[in-house]
Amino acid sequence: MSEQEVMEKVVEILKPYAKNAAALASVSLETNILSDLKVNSARLVDVVLAFEDSFGIEVEDEDADGVQTVGDAVRLIQSKLA
Amino acid sequence: MNQREQALARQRLIGRMLSPVCIPLATLLMRFLFRWRLRDTSEHRALYRRLLSEDSRPLLIAANHLTMADSALIAWGLGGTIDHMVRYHGLPWNVPEQARVESSRLWRVLAYLMKCVPVPRGGDRKVVADVLKGLRHLMEEGEVVLMFPEGGRSRSGRVDTESVAYGVGRLIKELGDCRVLCVYVRGDQQKSWSNMPTSGDTFSFTTRVIEPQTNLRGMRGSREVASQVLAQLVEMEEAHLARQEA
């Protein structure tokens, strides 16, 4: 799966959780999930679980600790898919 | 021992040295300034003493959260002044919101002396993970940690099952053989959440020990464990409210 395809799917998953629609509209790999998209930190678990379900991967707690930006999420998913 | 573990050991040492002043002072404030009263604590204190002495497995206290005084009330409810001074490891560590602790110098000093490890709410996950590592180290060293699985004070006034703080589950899961002392505490006049309980209020306690288990891995497992703890608190709340109505 290409980076672009993973990115599109990640953004789709983030949509219901992102409170900042404007930031979501101009999302990039550098967009911070918590501070830019205003995803509630408690909901970040749901986001990661949605990644697991959607991509058929398993994310360990330590892996998730490193996810701050959309790019981090994309890279993590790609590494799990590889 | 890494830098954080050294800092926690230093904090514990300083807190312990000043505990003959801090612990009685905190109790006096609750008892005489706020005129709070605790109902039937002997059974809960006996249970807590037993948990502290019966084996060396890690012990986490998980409680409902309605006011900013909850952690102090729980510490008081589970042990008297002498208990906590003699068994200092039984005075639980707390995880208050960093912004609250840093709002004044007084808060910062009190938090330091009363075994608090501030955590940034909604902050960098790596920082939160580092705090959890510190707590895990403390528990492996025989210290007790108090956490609120709802993550914050319940805005509904009831245990909020929609707001699961997954860190509680992660800590329990990573420790593997952790015992969880669930504590439900509520003042008679506490209708919803607030900063402080009403002056003169009387508090009831319910305690129950569980050992959450999960076969799930990763964050799913952590959330499952946190949900088990929260489900227990919901049951305890229902029992408490039923007793109040009876």
Q: How does pLDDT run across B35-63, given as a tens digit for each residue?
A: 999 999 999 999 999 999 988 899 999 99
Q: Write down the H helix ranges in B55-94.
A: 70-78, 81-86
The residue segments making up the domain with residue A52 are 3-81
CA-CA distance, B47 to B45, in Å (whole number)? 5
Measured between beta carbons, which residues in chain A are less than 8 angstroms from residue B174?
61
Q: How does pLDDT run across B16-26, given as a tens digit for each residue?
A: 999 999 999 99
CA nearest to B167, candidates B143, B145, B193 = B145
- What CATH number is attached to the domain comprising A73? 1.10.1200.10
Is B218 in contact with A58 (Cβ distance < 8 A)? Answer: yes
ipTM over 0.95: no
Indicate if the pLDDT at residue B130 is higher than 80.
yes
Is B125 in contact with A60 (Cβ distance < 8 A)? Answer: no
B7-16 contact pairs (CB < 8 A, 24+): B8/B117, B8/B134, B8/B137, B8/B138, B11/B112, B11/B115, B12/B88, B12/B115, B12/B143, B14/B112, B14/B113, B15/B88, B15/B112, B15/B113, B15/B114, B15/B115, B16/B88
- What CATH number is attached to the domain comprising B229? 3.40.1130
**Residue of chain B with shortest Cα separation from A48:** B219
Indicate if the pLDDT at residue B142 is higher than 90.
yes
Give chain A's end-to-end CA distance (angstroms, integer): 9
Measured between beta carbons, which residues in chain B are less than 8 angstroms from residue A49?
219-220, 223
Split into its structural domains, chain B has a count of: 1
Split into its structural domains, chain A has a count of: 1
CA-CA distance, B149 to B217, in Å (whole number)? 19
CA-CA distance, B246 to B241, in Å (whole number)? 9
Measured between beta carbons, which residues in chain A are less than 8 angstroms from residue B226?
none
Is A61 in contact with B219 (Cβ distance < 8 A)? Answer: yes
Distance from CA of B93 to the nearest CA of A (A): 22
